[in-house]
Amino acid sequence: MRQTISILVENRAGVLNRITGLFSRRAFNIESLAVSVTDDEDISRITIIADNGNSVLEQVEKQLNKLVEVIKVRTLEDDAIIGRELILIKVNATPQNRQEILTIAEIMGAKVCDISPTTMTLELSANTEKLATFEGLLKPFHIIEEVRTGMIAVQKGSGKI
């Protein structure tokens, strides 16, 4: 079962290592990890998508809350979040197929980041399902390189972590 965990921490060296160590010791698989500073540069937000298998996530939350650098921990339900990932995909783009690639990009809401005589690099920020569809549509053009960020998420409505 996949869980989205949002953690506010003090922006200090070694904090991420201690947090991921907790997941490792509990045999949780981290599928996605995104870290960035918040509007307060002394605080970072860590978004983790973890597969807990048969383990109890509550144990990890309690352990996270015991860490001195952790300010707040919240498990976010899938229906209560707005989550996005970013993907950059470089594909073969010949003069013959360039327009077809541009059409796919336009329909999916992607942006062209770079273009050369033989390649095109596209950028799309969306939910995981839309990124998978985008990737599938571009596979026939031969994906040369692909990179994705981890998911970032905020709670819907007026709630916050």
pLDDT per residue as tens digits for the range 101-127? 999 999 999 999 999 999 999 999 999
Model pLDDT for residues 129-148, shown as the tens digit of each residue: 999 999 999 999 999 999 99
Structural domains for the chain: 2-76 (3.30.70.260), 82-153 (3.30.70.1150)
pLDDT > 90? residue 23: no
Select from 80, 83, 65 the least CA-distant residue to 125.
83
Q: Residue 82's Cα: distance from chain center in Å? A: 12
Position 103 scores a pLDDT of 97
% the chain with pLDDT above 90: 63
Cα–Cα distance, 97 to 142 (Å, whole number): 11
**Measuring CA to CA, how many Å separate 41 from each of 38, 51, 80, 81, 149?**
6, 30, 26, 24, 21
Position 63 scores a pLDDT of 87
Q: What is the mean pLDDT of the chain?
A: 91
Position 54 scores a pLDDT of 53
Beta carbons of 46 and 16 less than 8 angstroms apart: yes
Tokens of residue 160, six digits: 């916050």
